[in-house]
Every structure is written in C-alpha cells, then in structure tokens.
Amino acid sequence: MQAACVRFLVCPVCRGALRPAGAALRCPAGHTFDVAREGYANLLVTRHRRTRMVGDTAAMVAARASFLARGHYARLADAVAELVARQLRERGAAAPGCVVDVGCGTGYHLGRLRDRLLADGAAPPCLIGTDVSKHAVRRAARDHPDATFLVADTRAGVPLADHAAAAVLDVFAPRDGAELARLLAAGGLLVVVTPGPRHLAELAERVGLVGIQPEKRRAVAESLAPWFRPRQERRLRYRFEVAGPAAAELARMGPSAWHLAPAALAAAERLERLTVTADFQVDGYAPR
C-alpha cells in the first residue's frame, strides 16, 4: 500500500476519509481496518462478509496467475494500458487522479499499465485495485507492492472518494454505471473490457465453458448510457495456442470454474494442442 495513495480511500461504513493509523486505516468516526502483512487493506464490511458470492477462490486465482504469466493476454493488457496512458498524457499533471481497476483480480492490468508508463518516462499515478476476493487481492499486493489493493465489494460502494479517478478500468468485472460515474473525475476515462462473441470459442466447444451473451457489447453500452457516452471502440481479436495445462487454467480461472465437471477439466488437461481465439471488446467511455 502506497502511503501517498491513502488520501483517495474512504471508510466503507460512513464514507469518512481514511487515514493511516499504525498498521491500520482509520476514519474520523473511529472505524478501523487492518492493513495485512502483504500490504493490502480489507474494507469489506461485516454484513457483506457472509454473502455467498465471495469472489474468486484461491484455486481460481492460482489458475489465473499461472495463465496470465504465459503472456497470452498481454496484447489485451497493452491495449488497455495504451488507452489509459493516452488519457493521462492528455489530462497532464494539472489534473491528477488515481487509476482504479474495479475487480482487479491479480493486479495484472495495473502492473502492465505501470510498466508501460515507466517505459514512456511518465510517473505512474496512484494505482488502486479493488476486488471482492481476498485471495486475488493478497496475490495482487504480493506481486505489485508499488500499487494499492483493497478487498472491497463494488455492490456496497467502492471505498474511494467521489471523482477520485482519472481513469477506471473494468475488465470482465460486473458494472454499476452510477458507481463508476461517481468514481470518475470530470473528463475521466472509463475502460470496459468484455468478451466478444468468439472469445475462447474453441475451448468452450471442447470442454463446455459458460457461453458468451450475444450482443454483449450493446447490452453494456445500454446499461452505461445514463452516465456514459462511448468514446473509443476497439475489437481486439487474435489466436493463440495452448496445451493441456494452459487450457485447464483458462477453464479454472473464469466463471465456468463454479460448475465445470471434473471430467471436463480432465479433458482440458489432456489437450495436446488447441488454437484458441481471444476476442475482446475494449471500449472507452466518457462521463456525460
């Protein structure tokens, strides 16, 4: 956790500003949240701790981290980083704000963004990732000590100040238009990544993954329309080859992990080689 970035954080109970207090964060009303040894803060409030939907499991997170380390999704991360880097350049230093990845998983996209900004000679802003999965956030904090990670439930309100963000990333995560609009600064950029219709189609046919909703992109744009207008639109489509272990990681890391039969996973493990389509819709939105 970056001390300089705590200024963007608010208490998930009362929305008061959080401040460092020893190895914890505390708001003026006295609500206190421990900062874990790995450097992340758990800002889940009790009433949400027992909800059934607890986010990615440890096994899903491990599969995701292994798969992403293979580099097959680097082109996606670079496309996202390109949009955000341009946005930060255009805003300039006079309009600082953080960059938030809502549903950040293992912090892969924030990490690639940081690398991209450093390669450009730009000073990265505060990079903040939130996820409802403690397993994901713990991994993200371990892998990216120079970013700030929070366990938080978007449905309960992202624990960040109003209009704190110069850019918000939402990569394959649930979207709440009103909440995303609250986070974004005026002139900020929302980057939404959703699966295109052919995403992982070959693997889905072989092992039976969760299908992609048709017209997904239009549905997303419509759900965001009261708060956002489309600014950039890009379909990123390419093929990559996987063998059994990577195919099984792909099956285990996504929503299919919740209901894939062991036999389907075993079938994925046995694949010798499969060419898979990556089909991403990478869209930029501006607040209205």
Question: Least Å distance between CB 247 and Zn ion?
Answer: 45
d(CA 161, CA 248): 39
Query: CA angle 137-147-27, nearest 5°?
Result: 80
Burial 256-286 (b: 16+ CB within 10 A, else e): bbeebeeebbebbeebeebebbbbbbbbbbb
Residue 186 beta carbon to Zn ion: minimum distance, rounded to whole angstroms: 26
Nearer to Zn ion, 21 or 29 (CB): 29
Give the residue nearest to Zn ion (CB): 11
Between 11 and 100, name the residue whose CB sits nearer to Zn ion.
11
Nearer to Zn ion, 13 or 54 (CB): 13
DSSP state for residue 120 in the 8-state scheme? T
User: Going along 70-126, which residue ranges are E strands?
Assistant: 98-102
Please return the burial class of 9, using the count of CB atoms within 10 Å of its CB with bins 0-12, 13-18 and 19+. Answer: buried
In the complex with Zn ion, the residue whose CB is nearer, 13 or 62, is: 13
Smallest gap from Cβ 94 to Zn ion, in A, equals 31
Q: Which is nearer to Zn ion, 11 or 271 (CB)?
A: 11
CA distance 56 to 58: 7
Question: Least separation, in Å, of the C-beta of 32 and Zn ion?
Answer: 9
Structure tokens belonging to residue 116: 């991209």
Report the nearest approach of Zn ion to the CB of residue 168 (Å). Answer: 23
Residues that bind Zn ion (CB under 5 A): 11, 13-14, 16, 27, 29, 31
> By C-beta, is 49 or 235 nearer to Zn ion?
49
Q: How far is the CB of 81 from Zn ion (least distance, A)?
A: 34
> How is residue 165 written in tokens?
């963000």
CA dihedral 98, 99, 103, 104 (to 10 degrees): -110
